[in-house]
Chain A
């Protein structure tokens, strides 16, 4: 067993971090929120050069994947840099298209474009809610209704999200690409992948909120000292770190198994940890944290929607503890 990233995987994360750090993502996020997807798409194009969007696309469709560990590494960075757009939905749509029984035409058309970063694809699944994220900027919107998957023809008006950079629309009309049990199974796997990547994104959001807050409390002075000297401040941040650092192994455990219960555990832990980090960040920034001017708000506003997207905490918990059944889902594997 070596439950650690290898050097290439760790280096991949650092490369993305450097690239996104230099790219001025906050401006792209603000533009995206205002309905201008130009800077965001430019960012996607640069991300695509690193191979991020090819990770979820199978090799036979000009992708590199599926590579779940690398995907987790990448999506933590996307979260840390608040990259706008349907990043999770595009990867989940790729997984769905790749497995659709009668969807070969759609797969041939869209998968290479997803892998190259040319296509942003959104995905709405009735079970996860009626909205398709960023349908206005997306090149295609897939909609799952029961066991039918269709390509939407259009969408209704913008429904404002608590995070303006998440633009929500109800998709409308369109042709059915596939239906039946195989389509439903493909959808279930795609939905799990969406939950998994949202967990990664949440972890990244939480880590960045913590990093920014640690930096802030080291500078901000009250009573003649940096506020980071006070234990009430320190301990809250220490607890935030405990939450995030115990969500991380669940995320990578899920990457190795892609098992639904492992993903639910990771989603639950990462979502809650990021949310608690957001609460600490808001509190410890004082009034300045309660403003939209400060870039911190770009992450603060994501913590709650990401915690709930593709599986609320309650849904994750219900999946983990069915009323009947044996020991915890992972006990069998760990018991050899």
Chain B
């Protein structure tokens, strides 16, 4: 057991650090949940991509560096320590890309991945529906067979960044007569600018259009945009959520950097002993999350699956993120009420953590049933 980085990993860290020091914008970009900020973030993605830092873990042919999970973690630590912008491409990179690597055809990979890596095409996730959140398998949007493809109709919602994104990936019901709800579903990609798609931005708590509702009215999707076998959508959509997402949805680098900034803020604002304990908890939480991730990465590198354990991860970082931001707001005092500033925006974003990516109630059920072996309850 060790925590040693190899000389090669250290060199990679140094290279990333130097590049970031030279390129990270001196002023924070405007919020990526605004039109102007979205464009600025897209430009940043192009800059990252130009020197192959956008998707370091992908194979080189798709714009990556083909590095393993440890180097990916190193990169993420450096990325956030350098104060680099949030990733506008993350839904595509974290959710769609792993699925494409596992289930897509070579043609699909060659067509979709490079423009995703460069930020030229930003992807939105269209899973949730108004009536299907936690019970996602109850979804009703349909894809009906037509000449050379499928016609989509129905409604998707809460689609992050869809207000400004280009394309979306989602699950649709192709066999309404299948015996079970998660059968007869098909996973496919569609263009948000295609005829029949209406995108209605939704303002989140701070008014920014961070997500959108999608109305689909006989939207044509060619066969080449179906991922895997039709009817097999549920299995395909779920197959990458445990393993990859448990490790990569939120990298520890992000929280280590945030905890450092919190400690700095605490000192700047007079090192109030009454808040010290919460600052300490933030530092410890970030370290715990980093080491937990190193352990999972070690398992992953050894060829093990990270399954239901990813639910531990999700509950931990989402609760952690809120506590960290609440502490920062307390330190800001009267200024906490001001809607601008990174802590205020971070706080609003953190509040959604226990809701998206499977609510924490659902994650706790998974932990209790699959990790602790408690009896299944009613769903």
Interface residues of A (CB under 8 A from B): 1-6, 9, 69, 210, 214, 217-218, 225-226, 228-231, 233-235, 237-239, 241-242, 245-250, 252-253, 255-257, 262, 265, 268-269, 313-314, 316-318, 320-321, 323-324, 327-328, 330-331, 333-336
Contacts and interface: CB of A to CB of B under 8 A. Distances in A.
A239 B292 contact: no
Nearest to B294: A3
Question: Interface on chain B toward A: helix, strand, loop, or mixed SS?
Answer: helix
B277 A253 contact: no
A280 B287 CA distance: 25
Contact of B2 (A3, A226, A324): A3
Nearest to A328: B283
Given A328-B260, A336-B5, A237 B374 contact: yes
A253 B6 CA distance: 17
Given A3-B2, A3-B295, A217-B374, A334 B77 contact: yes
Nearest to A5: B1
B369 interface: yes
Contacts of A210: 372
A331 B3 CA distance: 13
A234 B280 contact: no
B50 interface: no
B144 interface: no
A238 B372 contact: yes
Contacts of B374: 214, 217-218, 228-229, 233-234, 237
Question: Interface on chain A toward B: helix, strand, loop, or mixed SS?
Answer: helix
Contact of B276 (A229, A237, A321, A331): A321
B315 A242 contact: yes
B276 A318 contact: yes
A247 B271 contact: no
A327 B266 CA distance: 12
B361 A235 contact: yes
Those 5 A-B pairs whose CB atoms lie nearest each other, nearest first: A249-B291, A234-B368, A317-B280, A238-B367, A238-B364
Contact of B290 (A229, A320, A334): A334
Contacts of A242: 312, 315-316, 367
A229 B276 CA distance: 39
Contact of B375 (A226, A269, A335): A226
Nearest to B264: A327
A225 B301 CA distance: 41
Q: Counting chain A CB atoms within 10 Å of each CB, which of B256, B283, B369, B376 scores highest? A: B283
26 contacts: A2-B301, A3-B2, A4-B298, A69-B1, A218-B373, A229-B375, A229-B377, A231-B377, A233-B374, A234-B369, A234-B377, A237-B368, A237-B372, A242-B315, A246-B285, A253-B291, A265-B283, A268-B284, A317-B280, A320-B280, A321-B280, A323-B273, A327-B260, A328-B283, A334-B77, A335-B81
